Structure 1
Amino acid sequence: MVTPKKSPKVTKAATKTDAQTDVPEVAETPRDSFLSKSIGVLLILANVAVRVYCGLYMIISDCDETYNYWEPLNRIARGFGKQTWEYSPAYAIRSYAYLIPYYLITNPLRDFDLLTGETLLPSAMFYYIRVVGLAGFTAYAEIKLYWAVRRNFSNYTANWFLLFSTFAPGMAHASVALLPLSWAMTWITLGTALAIEVLGDVNDLSVVGPSIKAISCFLTAGLFGWPFALAIGIPFGLFTLRARYQTPPLTRIVFAGWAIFPAMVIFLICVDSYFYSRDALFVPFNIVLYNVFSGEGEGPEIFGVEPFLYYLLNLALNFNVVLVLGYLGAVVIPYTSSKVEHYRSAFGASVPILVWSFIFFRQPHKEERFLYPIYTLICLSAAIFTARVWKFLRESVFLRMVSRVLVLLSVALYITLSGSRILSLVYNYSAPLTTAAVFLEIENENATTGIQNVCIGREWYHFPTSFFLPDNYRLRFVKSGFDGLLPGDFEENVSIKQAASIYPAGINAKNIFSEDKVVPFDTCDFYIDNSSPVPAGEPDVFGNAAWKAIACEKIADPSSTEFNLKRILHIPTILDKYIPGSNEQMDYCVFQRVNGV
């Protein structure tokens, strides 16, 4: 069990103010208090268990995660990997400062190799980063916010928050994604946990420490993650300026902020200028330029645009009923709360959610991951709103009895729906992860010395990461129906600094196909494909005597676009016959060339 850090000054001051100006959301008897605390312990254990499960089994849902983050990280750790145009020094819109921490946390694995003489599989590094660096850090942040909500709202609200956050399907994949937006989400969660400690009437020096830490978290989310995430910290910054105006705390907070912000900027400039060999390179500035001020035929819109409903449908899949509760809470709760609770709910969750939604719902190019930074805030807003509703229901004896039944039914339904969605993602889309393990098995059984080419065509966007490839295996692309720009390769046998500073050929920011990113099919030793009909001009290895399948798993057939409950949710076999429709699947296979054929 994780215990909160003691902060006597802040907690005492906040408690005193709450006693004078606010009342608990739900008045708890000693029995209720014991029960809610016990439930809290179970939820913390469940949170850790779910995060570990997701770290081990959750899919990689975005090819951007593979090629823009796992592949460069593999180059840093193992000396080879794919390189996207974003990592060309000509554009430099990806920061090495984001990747370095994940490389550093794998030091225990390298120490294990040195101390024991045993060599761990490279996939162990992948899962270690996922479980410890991604899922573990997210769980830590969620639990920190849980304790903050418990201190500043109620046990009841805190339990609802951790329930919603733990089992939300969106959190299941956001918590283990190696993406700057997931980094931003986690640091925003920590920042919010610190911010709600001081979102109130207290205006003495006890608020300085938590305020500075909260601001530092929001800055870390934006500068080291995604610069637009800084917008989520603005409401807290404005509250601090207004509530602490002309007071000693504000002076200290401002001075600290003006020290921390330049320090972070200078650190980022030093790291990326070193790797890219460019003077005074500030990658967050390049990211803003690309996303906001790109020229004709460039910018995020060239990768597709989506209608307004795209985000609503994604949020519905990722949060089900919590989506409705979260946005209702964001709009309603700040205007129906007492003063202190108004500050905490409005500046802690409501305003950041509405600001972020206003910005990104209006953008033509939409990606599911763009909403990651507000995922935990949606859960927090939903928890505050839900606690308020149950408080109303508990005001009469009859409704109190009904509410207990409703709570149990609601919790059971939410966990069932959310768990079913998480399992659906794992069962329907995890074939690329599970089949990739075969490369290390093959090499362990029959070691090779020369370079082995693992080729992929139309399934290029499903490849998980080169962490599943032995040291002498390389991912290659062959021609397929995809006519956009594919990643190239980082230069090998040179330092990472030299590799990062080379201007690669055939790179452009307009997603224009480059011939030098593909290889002839006859150079392939392995080939990854699915069993759907093969378009003309692409390799067909199913039933080809020159190739043998060495690993196959089922994966959802993307050609089936009609609404299908069996794909949205994981339906147990015993219930399958009662649910209409069928979950169309295909084989996702790894083939090996047969020698002598």
Structure 2
Amino acid sequence: MRWFLRMLRFGAAFILLSLGHYFAARFLPVADCDETFNFVEPMHQLLYGSGLQTWENCPRYALRSWLFAWIYASPALLVIGAPRLRNVDVYFFNRIFYGRLACLSELFLVYSVWEAVSGRAAAVTLLLLLFNYPVPHAAVSALPTSFVMINYFMALGCWLRSGRRNVRHTSTPARQSQLQQTETNYFSVFGAVFFVVFACAVVWPFAGFAVLPVALDLLMRHPKASILSLLVSLALILPLAVGFDALYYCRLTWSAWNLVRYNLKGGAELYGVEPWYYFVKNLLVNAPALFLAGALAPFVLFLSPALDMGQRNNRKHKEGRGVHADTSTVLQKHAAQSSFPSFCSLTSAKALVVSVSTALSSSTAASSSLSRSRMLLWVSPFFVWFTFWLTVAHKEERFMAPVYPFLVLAAALSLTCVFFSPRSALNTRTGTKTTPKRHAQVCVTPSRKTWLLPAAGCILLLLSGLLSFSRGLAVYHFYAGPQRLMYDNYDVLQHAAEYKRVANANAGNATTLHDLYTVCVGREWYRFPSSFFLDPQRARVAFLKTDAFAGALPLPFTRHGGHATCNCGASGVNDLNEEIAEQYVSDAAVECDVILDSHSADDLRELKDYPPDVFAYPLGTTQQRLLDVARTSMWCRVLYYPFGISERCAVWRRVELLSKHRPTAVAAS
């Protein structure tokens, strides 16, 4: 029966997490154009033989892992041959699939917190995962930082389990003491090491800096198991990573090492620098309650009594079967056994005093200090990582995703200590711990005000959830316009592409790259969702020269070539973020069939990157809106406000597809 209840709890938690991750996968737009061009486009190349190639995927530089591309593309192989399944549906299937995978890793952390800390801390951890927008949004993204985050959820869970204590009772009935000894859980040690190596060796080696406390702790406590786990993990992962890179770059190389060498030269600063407080501001915007609770965790843990550790490992111990029964458990049992707690007998009072004294004497200051230091060690990777990025000039929002697991744990421990600790649930009427006098009738009953702290904690979590929901709605409402437009008009674009193909075939023209139906993007190039939103056999994306941007843009892979990934798109491809002529169409009126662009309703004199008299026909039946960030105040765009407030305070741009052919001609095909 117990296993059934456990599975029931697991299923309920998984469903709740899955709902949040599903909405993130299905509705939230791509958070970073790096995801689209550096990682999603190579996936499209692997699956459909076409896509865009950035300089980072050029064999000359080889900064991105093809093993990572296959890891994220491989779930699509399960459905790619299904009838009536469009490639845009395959894209969303992949996002939903990895959202489900992230749910499992998050649940593993929740249950590990349950094993290592307490059920209360595990419940708070689950609520924080449910009520904070950045975690599900990162979980469904095809980014190295997201891959690291999923692996670190698993690694942190294994780390928490690696120090479990087993209670062994002595076989002699006369002896009432218990001996505790730490057993090395080799599977947990191997899991912690493996998932760290998997994340760092495949996609993002810098993430290893965050888990230095994990490495030092495991080396000190389990040196042989840690070193053996490291060697086995490297032997399993490194050949695969190097092998895939060698296969697709057509030379012996390792992308993770190339990435380290490039960043040591300071090349990342070419793509923007941010002030030192960037991540403070970013986390306060995206997850204010989570960040504040996590940031205060060291102070809370240092000033608060140590949490009751190992609740599930020492279940017999906590149920009072040993002399080390938890004080709160004794008080609860005593209150439950008394029908009228306001009239306590002298005998029961004496029994209570003896029980409390025994419990307190068993909890020495050393053990409390050890528990507190252990929890501080568990949350230290977040502060190591956060401090590191204060000193780095180039910052991006996604760089904080690898330590979300540690931030969630820090916030959970902090909130549990303040609001949901057992020591705050049973106090005397004065709220202070008193020592009962000899021969005095003491009645220890729950205070009428003991519900205030848990209630305040629940209200705080609820407000955190509302803020997170509002932030997610703001991201969807303000920035998902281009993605929604491309998705809604997928069939329209497909029919237009087929119309052009038939026209070229009837004219007897040989099929070339320029004969494909070409969707051109200009100022909104970084919001283009990906080639998954176009028919892979009939359409392509190209870029317009625009005054709004002057830097490197991706070039198309060789279409359907056996060695398409072994070549750079052009000889001028560089790592200096310098534009080259080949990345643009030479004549928009000739090469482009439709333009994806945004227009300001307030500035009719805004210059366009294409001849507006040629592209004068809106394609499709829907138009979408996009927030004009430059003209909208920060307080308006950070959150979504109900009752039409966001609609009135936001300044909008109209996003549409403009064709050079009349829609009636396309419809006639």
Change in CA separation of 1:545 and 1:539 when aligned onto 2, cut-off 3 Å = closer
Equivalent residue letter for 1:317: V
Structure 2 CA distance, aligned partners of 1:330 and 1:222? 27
What are the equivalent positions in structure 2 for 1:435-450 lying under 5 Å apart? 435-443=485-493, 445=495, 447-448=498-499, 449=501, 450=515
What corresponds to 2:543 in structure 1?
477
Q: Does 1:222 align with 2:287?
A: no
**C-alpha distance in 1, partners of 2:414/2:183?**
31
Q: Quick check: 2:599–2:654 contact (8 Å CA) kept in 1? A: yes
Correspondences of 1:34-113 after superposition (within 5 Å): 43-110=13-80, 112-113=81-82
Residue 96 of structure 2 is aligned to residue 131 of structure 1? yes
Q: Offset at 1:330?
A: 4.0
Q: Write out per-residue CA displacement over residues 26-71 of structure 1, whole angstroms, 9 at most, x where no aligned residue.
A: xxxxxxxx9x999987554321110111111111111111000111
Decide which moves more: 529-538 or 75-84: 529-538
Q: Is the 8 A contact 1:37 1:155 kept in 2?
A: no
Question: Which whole-Å deviations, capped at 9, do the CAs of 1:442-494 have from their partners, x for residues lacking one?
Answer: 15545332510000001101000110101211000011011111111111121
2:471 match: 421
What is the match of residue 365 of structure 2?
none
The 3-state SS of whatever aligns with 1:564 is helix
Query: What one-letter code is carried by the residue in structure 2 that aligns with 1:366?
Result: K
Q: Give the structure 2 partner of residue 547 of structure 1.
A: 617
Q: Which moved further from structure 2: 201-210 or 305-314?
A: 201-210
For 1:285, the equivalent position in structure 2 comes to 257
CA 1:474 to 1:555, structure 2 compared with 1: closer, same or farther past 3 Å?
A: same
Unaligned 5+ runs, structure 1:
5-33, 245-249
Quick check: 435-444 or 384-393, which moved more? 435-444
Structure with bigger gyration radius: 2
CA contact (8 A) 2:145 2:399 kept: yes
Give the fraction of aligned pairs with identical amino acids, expressed as a percent.
24
Is the aligned partner of 1:461 residue 2:557?
no
Pick from 398, 412, 421 the counterpart of residue 369 of structure 1: 398
Q: Within 2, Cα distance between the matches of 1:386 and 1:408?
A: 10
- Deviations, residues 172-203 of structure 1 (Å, cap 9, x unaligned): 32111110000001100110011101235677
CA-based RMSD of the aligned residues comes to: 2.6
What is the alpha-carbon distance in structure 2 between the residues aligned to residue 430 and residue 257 of structure 1?
Answer: 42
- SS for the counterpart of 1:136 is helix
The answer to whether the aligner puts 1:403 opposite 2:367 as a matched pair is: no
The answer to whether 1:186 aligns with 2:150 is yes
Post-superposition Cα deviations, 1:365-422, rounded to whole Å, max 9, x if no partner, equal 1100111101121111100010000225434324412124313322321211111111
How far apart are the structure 1 equivalents of 2:279 and 2:197?
Answer: 26
**1:209-358 maps to which residues of 2 (within 5 A)?**
209-244=187-222, 250-279=223-252, 281-294=253-266, 299-330=267-298, 332-333=300-301, 337=306, 338-339=368-369, 341-342=371-372, 344-348=374-378, 350-358=379-387
How far is 1:545 from its partner? 6.9
Shift of 1:590: 1.5
Contact kept in structure 1, 2:29 and 2:480, CA below 8 Å: yes
> Which has the higher mean CA deviation after the structures are superposed, 384-393 or 467-476?
384-393
Alignment partners' CA distance in 2, 1:197 and 1:418? 30
Structure 2, unpaired ranges of 5+: 167-180, 307-367, 428-446, 502-514
CA contact (8 A) 1:201 1:340 kept: no
Q: 2:162 is matched with which residue? A: 198
SS at match of 2:64: coil
SS of 1:437's partner is helix
1:571 maps to which residue?
641
CA distance in 1, matches of 2:19, 2:540: 34
Secondary structure of the corresponding residue to residue 211 of structure 2:
helix
- CA offset at residue 93 of structure 1? 0.5
Structure 2 CA distance, aligned partners of 1:235 and 1:388? 23
Shift of 1:74: 0.6
Which deviates more, 260-269 or 76-85?
A: 260-269
Question: Aligned-pair distance for 1:76?
Answer: 0.8
Quick one: distance in 2 between partners of 1:73 and 1:563?
Answer: 35
Q: Distance in 2 between matches of 1:359 and 1:343?
A: 22
SS in structure 1 of the partner of residue 85 of structure 2: coil
Structure 1 residue aligned with 2:127: 163
Query: Residue 218 of structure 1 contacts residue 232 of structure 1 at CA under 8 Å; is this kept in 2?
Result: no
Q: Which moved more, 1:583-592 or 1:60-69?
A: 583-592
Query: 1:8 maps to what in 2?
Result: none
Task: Kindly state the Cα deviation for residue 561 of structure 1 after the two structures are TM-superposed.
Answer: 4.9
Q: 1:172 to 1:556 in 2, by over 3 A?
A: farther
Tell me which residue corresponds to 1:247: none
Q: Does 1:452 align with 2:523?
A: no
CA contact (8 A) 1:72 1:82 kept: yes
Number of residue pairs aligned between Structure 1 and Structure 2: 541
Instruction: Show the 5 A alignment for 1:480-559.
Output: 480-481=546-547, 482-495=549-562, 498-505=563-570, 506-519=572-585, 520-522=587-589, 523-532=591-600, 533=603, 535-536=606-607, 538-539=609-610, 541=612, 546-550=616-620, 551-559=622-630
Distance 1:363 1:412, change over 3 A: same
Q: Distance in 2 between matches of 1:57 and 1:341?
A: 42
Contact residue 88 and residue 502 of structure 1 kept, 8 A? yes
Preserved CA contact (<8 Å) 1:196 1:344: no
Q: CA contact under 8 A between 2:164 and 2:182: conserved in structure 1?
A: no
TM-score, with normalisation over the residues of structure 2? 0.76
**Residues 131 and 251 of structure 1: is their aligned pair in 2 closer, same or farther, counting only changes over 3 Å?**
same
**Rounded Cα–Cα distance in structure 1 between residues aligned with 2:303 and 2:152:** 24
**Residue 394 of structure 1: aligned partner:** 425
User: Helix, strand or coil: the match of 1:559?
Assistant: helix
Quick check: 1:141 aligned with 2:105? yes
